[in-house]
Structure 1
């Protein structure tokens, strides 16, 4: 899975990174401190030993705790298409893999134990499913699930780092990105992913990746080469 050398990042207590993306997939291992990562996949509390594998163009933000954090990162194959979160049994062994034996990353992840995820309100799951499914107004979804629109917006922003509207766009973008390697036309992809039309898909894709869907598709192979994927500013 691994395709590059590891690098460490250090973050001071109370630091925050707003929602951002990396053009290539990568794995992160928390070495010290703690932080909360928020994305369309939900909040993840990261402590020493937590490992996260991010797909290419995964949108997430980070808020670091009172001890700050040290994190080691390593690029991985761009064929990763879902977020993976797990907990290493032994931090030292995991660090050795990240630093010295990246070829063993797959084995390390398979041997890791599940990560304890945040408990969220019961209405979150059907709310998110409604966002994915269509264009039902956020206020209508909230009322149907027994919460106010204002409360729903605050709660979703706090848990996922995005407003409901941006979260809906993110789900649509992910759906379209997953279909780009196929032979479907871009117009069909736009319709199937829930965009108004191909132009709408193009605008969103450019805003996220810096490239058109056609250019992004050209950079995606059956076994993707991260070097061919346009960078994110």
Structure 2
């Protein structure tokens, strides 16, 4: 959520390539200064030159690697011409680890993180491996049949509107509590958050195909374009203009 009441900054600078997968949004390109804001996603920034991020107490966090905890008011005072920005779902294992490290050890990271100059998906995978070494999810071949069924059903359910965990559990043949536990364990984020990320993916897909924001929002199961706008601002501190057709998107739905 933007705590300053104004726009989050020059989103038009966030061009180039972007990646969206359940629990992860990433951009690579230039990082511009922003207004003060806060967002639910844990934000990891790496750059070829030093960044300066101000927290709500006036503290400056300067370095080529900065992690902003979930829901922490901040602004980018000095950006970088070349960098990568990754938002992690704070309810995921990697997001929770990155959030806690920033809270307890400071926002400036001293260890070398995967950075620019590499394929964006590789950078994201490297960041997740850095914060959570070793396997963090069950291999696709080992997923419970109920989870496989749920993943097949969810795209249609998400596009149709609200998704009921109870109804989905009944359709895949397990209890609601069992589905909730299995989903978080094997996919990496809770079902309700997966549904929200899936809606964002659908909205971007529709914008890329030529829909206006209102049509894309309705097609992705949002109540209206205002609902989509609130969601992107709350999760990333960014306006839906980041869904621009001029951004090259990698829409990875595998998780």
What is the TM-score when the length of structure 1 is the normalising length? 0.48
What is the TM-score when the length of structure 2 is the normalising length? 0.44
Higher RCO, 1 vs 2 (CA within 8 Å, ≥6 residues apart): 2
